[in-house]
Amino acid sequence: MSREERRLSLADYLNNHPTEAEKLRESINRFVSQSKLFESNVVPSLADTLAKIQQTTMQSLRPIYVPQLPESMFDSLRKTLKGIFPANWPSELPDFDRIEEVIEKDGIPIVHIPRAEIVQEICDAHDYDARVQILVDRASDIADDCRDALQRVYDEIVDKQLPLAQRAIEAYQAGYFESAQALAVSVCDTYLKKMYQGTRYADIQSDLTLDNSNEVAVAVAFNFHFALASAVPFLTPWNPARGEKPPTRLSRTRVSMTQAPTI
């Protein structure tokens, strides 16, 4: 079948299946809207990738003189785009400025866990206090999500910390919150030190900032670098002997100094 014959066949299909055509039109509109979101946000390499995909997509649509296409034509494209982002993120992605704020400023991990509806609630909240309240309200579900996540296969560095991480979850679910937090901080601190052997905390903190995700592949940025970026406030230094005010976010120094733990 020639290209012209395929075009006419597709046009006939659209005329005879208006519901499918409308569904795909909405899908295309969402895709175009989503791609525009990245043109000025977060990761330049992602913006370039989506721009190329969008250009190729629109070029493929140009020979067809109707505004709708059957949705099946975009199944593979949607699957490709879906693989870029963490599987637990909502299908309709939150604002990326908000995602960055939640991860890097607030230190709330939302990559891979918790479930999508909780990620959405956290990103919809307008400030840190509101997000913390969501964590408190959904604490039981988040603990379950963390427990389920530990059932996966991990690399050697993580694998050695799994028993302690599991104990942290068990302690939390049993109501021993301070013990759970101390165990969790120990796991995170050990992981970072093993990952960045011989590196100062300040340098680790700098390396984990989201600005550095511009230098890595898109899928790696969202699924790995964004996951670690929540440790930026975790590594905030604090020296009470100098009269410094304690961190307002979870900090390894504050917990290790046995001060009142923060969420």
Tell me which residue has tokens 């919150």: 177
Residue 87 in domain? no
Give the tens place of pLDDT for each residue, 53-109: 555 555 554 444 444 445 555 555 555 556 678 889 998 888 888 999 999 999 999
Instruction: Flag whether 90 is in a domain.
Output: no
**139 and 174 together in one domain:** yes
Shared-domain flag, residues 100 and 200: yes
Q: Does one domain contain both 116 and 66?
A: no
Q: What is the pLDDT of residue 258?
A: 43
* 36 plus 104 within the same structural domain: no
Q: Which of 4-13, 46-55, 82-91 has the lowest mean pLDDT?
A: 46-55
CA distance 66 to 8: 10
Whether residues 137 and 163 share a domain: the answer is yes
pLDDT tens for 170-181 read 999 999 998 998
Are 65 and 153 part of one and the same domain?
no
pLDDT at position 2 is 60
Contact, 240 vs 223, CB < 8 A?
no
The answer to whether residues 139 and 12 belong to one domain is: no
Residue 231 forms part of a structural domain: yes
Which of 25-29, 199-203, 217-221, 258-262 tops mean pLDDT? 199-203
Q: Which amino acid is at 174?
A: A
| CA 50/CA 183 separation, integer angstroms | 41
- Residue 85: count other Cβ atoms within 10 Å of its Cβ: 18
Reported as half-sphere exposure (CB side, CA atoms, 13 A), residue 150 has a value of 18
The full 3-state SS of 55-85, as one line of letters, equals HHHHHHHCCCCCCCCCHHHHHHHHHHHHCCC
Q: Are 220 and 214 in contact (CB under 8 A)?
A: no
Domain count of the fold of the chain: 2
Residues 118 and 205 in one domain: yes
Boundary of a domain, candidates 19, 52, 82: 82
Last residue of a domain, one of 82, 111, 141: 82
The answer to whether position 144 is within a domain reads yes
Q: Is residue 30 part of a domain?
A: yes
Q: Tell me the two tokens of residue 120.
A: 């959405």
Residue 152: helix, strand or coil by DSSP? Answer: coil
DSSP state of 209: S
- SS3 (DSSP) at 112: coil
Which residue from 49, 96, 74, 37 is spatially nearest to 218, judged by alpha carbons?
A: 49
Please enumerate in sequence order all residues whose Cβ is within 8 A of that of 109, keeping only pairs 6 or more positions apart, or say none: 103, 227, 230
Tokens at 75, concatenated: 């199944």
Boundaries of domain holding 18: 3-82
**Is residue 123 domain-shared with residue 232, that is, in the same domain?**
yes
> Among 15, 48, 82, which residue terminates a domain?
82
- Specify if 91 maps to a domain: no
